[in-house]
Amino acid sequence: MINNYIEKANFEDTGFHYTLSLINGKYKMIILYCLMEFAPVRFNDMRRYIKTISDKTLSLNLKELEANGLISRKEYPQIPPKVEYTLTPRGESLMVVLDQLCIWGEENRI
C-alpha cells in the first residue's frame, strides 16, 4: 500500500517543493534575511553585506525574488539612479519559516 502511495505522490506537486523552488540557490535566503534586517537596502549595500556575491548573480537573484513576489523594487527618478529593495508581505510571511531554520541550526549545531 505504501508503494502505491509513493508511486502516486508527485514531489513536484507538494508545497515543500514549491517553497524550495522560490528560495533555492546559494544566495536567495541570504538576500531575504538581509532585507529583513536592514530594509530598505540598495544594491551596493546588499553587495557589501554579502561579500562573496558578484553583481551579475545578485542582480539575477533579485530579479527572480521580485518575479516571485517576495521582494519589491522601488526606483527613484534621480541622478545617480537610486533603487531600493524591501520584502513584500509575501516575503515577510516566509521569514517565519527561515527563522525556524535558524533556530534549528542554533539548537543542533555540532
Per-residue pLDDT tens over the stretch 82-108? 999 999 999 999 999 999 988 999 999
Counted domains in the chain: 1
What is this structure's pTM? 0.84
pLDDT higher than threshold 80 for residue 8: no
92 sits in which H/E element: helix 89-108
Question: Does any domain span residue 11?
Answer: no
pLDDT at 3: 53
Question: Does any domain span residue 95?
Answer: yes
Question: Does any domain span residue 100?
Answer: yes
Per-residue pLDDT tens over the stretch 30-40? 999 999 999 89
pLDDT category, 2, cuts 50, 70, 90? low
Three cell numbers written together for 15: 508545497
**CA 65/CA 72 separation, integer angstroms:** 8
Question: Does any domain span residue 103?
Answer: yes
Question: Does any domain span residue 4?
Answer: no
Cis previous bond, 80, omega within 30: yes
> CATH no. for residue 70?
1.10.10.10
Question: Does any domain span residue 56?
Answer: yes
Question: Does any domain span residue 60?
Answer: yes
pLDDT at 9: 63
Note down the domain range covering 103: 26-108
Question: Does any domain span residue 6?
Answer: no
